[in-house]
Amino acid sequence: MSAEVFRDSRGIPHLRAGDARELARAQGRNAAADRGWQIEGERHRVQGTTAAFLGPDAVGWDRFARRARLADTARRCFEALDDETADWVAAYVDGVNEGLAATAADGPGFGATGLAPGRWEPWTPLGVWISTHILFAGFPTKLWRERAVAALGAGAVELFATDGPGTSGSNGWLVTGEHTATGAALIAGDPHRFIEDPGVYQQIRLSCPEFDVVGLAVPGVPGIGHFGHTGKAAWAITNAMADYQDLYRERLRRGDDGVSALGPDGWRPAAAHTETIEVAGAAPVTVEVIETDRGPVVIGGPDASDAVSLRYPPRVTADIGFAALPALLRATTAEDVDRAFDHWVEPVNVVQAADTAGGTLHRVAGRVPLRHATNRVRVVAAWEDGHEWTGWAPMPRAEVRGTAVMANQRGLAAPLGVEFAPPYRADRIAALLESSTSWTPGAMSAIHTDTHLASARPLLALLAALPDLTPPAAALRDRLLGWDRRMAADSADALAYATVRAALVRRLAAHPAFEPLAELPSLPDLFLPWLALTPRIGYALETVLTTRMLPEIDRAHEARAALEEVAGAEGEFGTWGEAHRLAPWQALPDATAQWPGLAGDHDCVLSTSSVPGLTHLSARGPAARYVWDLSRREDSLWVVPFGASGAPDSPHHRDQLELWTTGALAPVTTDWKALRREMRAHVYEHKVAEFGTVRLRPLDPVADLDVVHGWVTQERAEFWGMPGASREQVRETYEYVDSLATHHAFLVTLDDEPVALFQTYRPEADPLGECYEVRPGDVGIHILVAPAPGPARPGFTGTLMSNLIAYVLADPAHLRIVVEPDVRNEKSIERMVRSGFVLAQEVAKPEKRARLAFLERKRP
């Protein structure tokens, strides 16, 4: 069975294929078609080459990606994969490369930057996973803690311990059948991350005889890793807030033999080389890449006053946990999900799962090193004993009794981390779940969108105790004390509270007690968000207001001053939604976009995070919402911030934005009859002046059967080898070709009229490979030009041939094209010579005697 693409009313892709490998290839093609610009950006992030088309602002990331050895780590992890998983990932990459050939014409990002789609390597999806999650554990927080402890003492770790700039407020909850209307479990939640346009998750369905899964995929990565429903089992994750990355202060020296690093056993050689970062509109930047026995040096170097290396599990073990991904697709029980997550490495997550038989799962999955406790808190000295990794921590698990909640709080994962989110979201979700014993999927949106802000209590209590306020300040204080503590988009009181909070945060950040932390250190810009004082105080405001530390701060005085400042400002408050607007990250910012106002706040269940003291805008929020129903999968619900497509001109680019903003959820469609079957996408398109538009798309053995059967059985096609073939034989032939990863058939159209049948193949996987010495980069082709419907057009076949050659050579891995016409087919041989092919020897094949001819790629 060939791969098929279906779409629902929102453009969400439903992919169906004859086996898991062909399905992975189809998923790769779809990722390129729907998210080509996005995933190519991710490939460049892995390689540290984004500045080449985004300019100087991207140099900081590129420098880090190279110094942290992200691409090299991905290569190592791919080489260590088991054969089955490696082949599955490679099939996905084959699909991406096929799909990207048509992306340049459709992706405005490519045109705006002058970037051409490149070639994905088999390890690239692993690199996308690593670069997406390398900052999830927040290792730069250790740089902050070191500064905070030096300035304020050891208690500063607890003072600022909160869900900080590197993470977001993800929620998840599991409700067993005793508490649902159907008697079957529900799993719901919403991963909160920086909101990106296009979105970081892609709604998708993957179906083959082995499995049929709906879920949220990471564009550029095969399978469905974080949130999925197989029909019999479903799972979801949140960030466990575990600490599994270490920073080491290094002593480096440069000598005649290169760079050396001081470790517990003395000076040892460090690997070192230089790389060049190309920068659009600016001079290239040279970066020295150094790796010690601990890990890659990400800060400083032998010529700097300080150097810091990063140690992270995939770099140490050459394992990123990709074996979990195909295993999850095949899961039919909670136990299957459990076994699949045994392979998981990073990010370290809390996992919940349930199945249709009543099984449940609540555990942590990932890899956390065993080492000295100080490694988890701060930067440690590379030359001191006792900071090495000695093994891996066991992953905690718990029994599910009625309900289970995961919201980054200190709980199941407590032994594995240092800082966790405040308990507000987890406590609020648990309380809301207790309100019913007959939950339905649709009712879960009330939990997703809950805006109660329990963390407002300390500031409001402080305001309530203030005496002798001016009349405007007293009126504002009374207004806030009467507020319902909901951060509703239409609430003016919510904006009044946020404005007073912001003023107080700014005053506290300017207090002399924090002066040692006010100035940003001389470190790479990439790490500075973790080191900025104002956000740290904003996110830890409750603790700052209630701690016994810092007695020199008169909190009542500062709160009074903030309240008087806001009360004395001119003008009325607008609503929270007018100020608290979505501010998504875009590689190419759209200055014309009108982003909606949002409800919620950092500590609400609807965690739409602003940065108190800096901005009311929200760059972080629910990157998706989902409800998995274990009674009937078709009653499941989901939504993403924007839409299924990453193309701005697609009707499905932002067609879910209103649903997402209002908290509505879309149904998960599972009935194939309710879906629209999509014709195979074009892989090549070129408009030729005074000729027409030439297009190639993969041949559909069923939909294109009438056309192809009519061509290959004509007398003029005698050398094609199918005279007298029945329709069934032709269909079976091309279904077989379609099932191969090494052979591909395409329908060629001119102005949408079919004009030729074109095939490509890898000679080493074909009988031809036994007839000559195949070279790396060889690709074979066959072409059958259809009979002209009207008068002959001079140069028709030659123009068509030049376009087909251009398509083949668009893949930089193709270095030489080989053809093998029958020696009796003089017209074909002459045509190849006119197209630039050089004739070679005759060879004997089982079905014919052929004349070889080669066309080599021109050297630049």
Residue 459: both structure tokens together? 């500031």
Is beta strand 625-629 parallel, antiparallel or unpaired with respect to 637-639? Answer: antiparallel
- Is there a contact between 542 and 422 (Cβ–Cβ < 8 Å)? yes
Q: What is the mean pLDDT of residues 354-381?
A: 97
Q: What is the mean pLDDT of residues 738-745?
A: 85
Q: What is the pLDDT of residue 573?
A: 87
Distance CA 161, CA 276 (A): 38
Q: How far apart are the first and last CA of the chain?
A: 41
- Is there a contact between 426 and 413 (Cβ–Cβ < 8 Å)? no
In this predicted structure, the answer to whether residue 140 has a pLDDT above a threshold of 70 is: yes
In this predicted structure, the answer to whether residue 755 has a pLDDT above a threshold of 70 is: yes
**Is the dihedral angle over the CA atoms 423, 425, 426, 432 positive or is it negative?**
positive
Is beta strand 192-194 parallel, antiparallel or unpaired with respect to 637-639? Answer: unpaired
- Is there a contact between 628 and 234 (Cβ–Cβ < 8 Å)? yes
Q: Determine which helix (DSSP H) or strand (DSSP E) holds 433, and give its type and residue range.
A: helix 424-433
Helix (H, G, I), strand (E, B) or coil at 211: strand
- Is there a contact between 802 and 835 (Cβ–Cβ < 8 Å)? yes
What confidence category does residue 163 fall into, taking pLDDT thresholds of 50, 70 and 90? low
Q: What is the pLDDT of residue 308?
A: 98
Pick one of 3.40.50.150, 3.30.1950.10, 3.60.15.10, 3.40.630.30 as the CATH number of 684-856: 3.40.630.30
Q: What is the pLDDT of residue 521?
A: 92
The residues, any chain, with a CB within 8 Å of residue 789's CB and separated by 6 or more, are 753
* Angstrom distances, CA of residue 293 to CA of 87, 245, 316: 32, 15, 10
Distance CA 227, CA 201 (A): 10
State pLDDT tens for residues 239-268.
Answer: 999 999 999 999 999 999 999 999 999 999
Based on its alpha-carbon atoms, the radius of gyration of the chain, rounded to whole angstroms, reads 30
Exposure string (b/e) for 711-740, b if CB count within 10 Å is 16 or more?
A: bbbeeebeebebeebeeeebbebbbebbbe
From the number of C-beta atoms within 10 Å of its C-beta (0-12, 13-18, 19+), residue 844 rates as exposed
- Is there a contact between 620 and 609 (Cβ–Cβ < 8 Å)? yes
Q: Find tokens 């067993």 and name the residue.
A: 176
Distance CA 190, CA 170 (A): 6
Q: What is the mean pLDDT of residues 561-566?
A: 97
- Is there a contact between 633 and 231 (Cβ–Cβ < 8 Å)? yes
Q: Give CA 164 to chain center in angstroms.
A: 21
DSSP string computed for 227-276: EEE-SSEEEEEEE------EEEE--EEEETTEEEEEETTEEEE-EEEEEE
* Angstrom distances, CA of residue 720 to CA of 224, 682, 749, 753, 832: 42, 24, 19, 21, 16
Pick the range with the lowest mean pLDDT from 110-114, 194-198, 459-463.
Answer: 110-114
Give the number of other CB atoms < 10 A from CB of residue 409: 23
Distance CA 623, CA 641 (A): 6
Amino acid at 685: E
From the number of C-beta atoms within 10 Å of its C-beta (0-12, 13-18, 19+), residue 557 rates as exposed
> Of 666, 681, 646, 680, which Cα lies nearest the Cα of 9?
666
Distance CA 2, CA 12 (A): 20
Tell me the sheet residues that pair with 276.
286
DSSP letter for 172, please: E
> Of 496, 400, 473, which Cα lies nearest the Cα of 172?
400
Q: What is the pLDDT of residue 106?
A: 58
- Is there a contact between 382 and 263 (Cβ–Cβ < 8 Å)? yes
Amino acid at 577: G
Domain ranges of the chain: 684-856
Query: Higher confidence at residue 598 or residue 99?
Result: 598
Please report, for the chain, how many H helices and E strands are present, in that order.
29, 37
Amino acid at 823: V
Query: Higher confidence at residue 761 or residue 3?
Result: 761
- Is there a contact between 62 and 51 (Cβ–Cβ < 8 Å)? yes
In this predicted structure, the answer to whether residue 167 has a pLDDT above a threshold of 60 is: no
State pLDDT tens for residues 498-520.
Answer: 999 999 999 999 999 999 999 99
Query: Higher confidence at residue 433 or residue 724?
Result: 433
- Is there a contact between 74 and 124 (Cβ–Cβ < 8 Å)? yes
**At what angle are helices 457-464 and 471-481 packed, to 10 degrees?**
140
- Dihedral pair phi/psi, residue 103, rounded to 5°: -75, -35
Q: What is the pLDDT of residue 165?
A: 45
- Is there a contact between 716 and 787 (Cβ–Cβ < 8 Å)? yes
* Angstrom distances, CA of residue 169 to CA of 13, 144, 348, 518: 28, 20, 15, 26
State pLDDT tens for residues 515-544.
Answer: 999 999 999 999 999 999 999 999 999 999
- Is there a contact between 444 and 188 (Cβ–Cβ < 8 Å)? yes
Q: What is the mean pLDDT of residues 125-147?
A: 93
What whole-number percentage of the chain has pLDDT above 70?
Answer: 97
- Is there a contact between 328 and 235 (Cβ–Cβ < 8 Å)? yes
Pick the range with the lowest mean pLDDT from 340-344, 700-704, 828-832.
Answer: 700-704
Q: What is the pLDDT of residue 1?
A: 45
* Average pLDDT in the chain: 93
DSSP letter for 456, please: G
Distance CA 84, CA 88 (A): 6
Q: What is the pLDDT of residue 98?
A: 86
The residues, any chain, with a CB within 8 Å of residue 507's CB and separated by 6 or more, are 558, 561, 562
Q: Find tokens 């770790």 and name the residue.
A: 157
Is 0.75 surpassed by the pTM of this model?
A: yes
The residues, any chain, with a CB within 8 Å of residue 184's CB and separated by 6 or more, are 177, 356, 358, 629, 630, 631
The residues, any chain, with a CB within 8 Å of residue 466's CB and separated by 6 or more, are 477, 556, 559, 560, 563
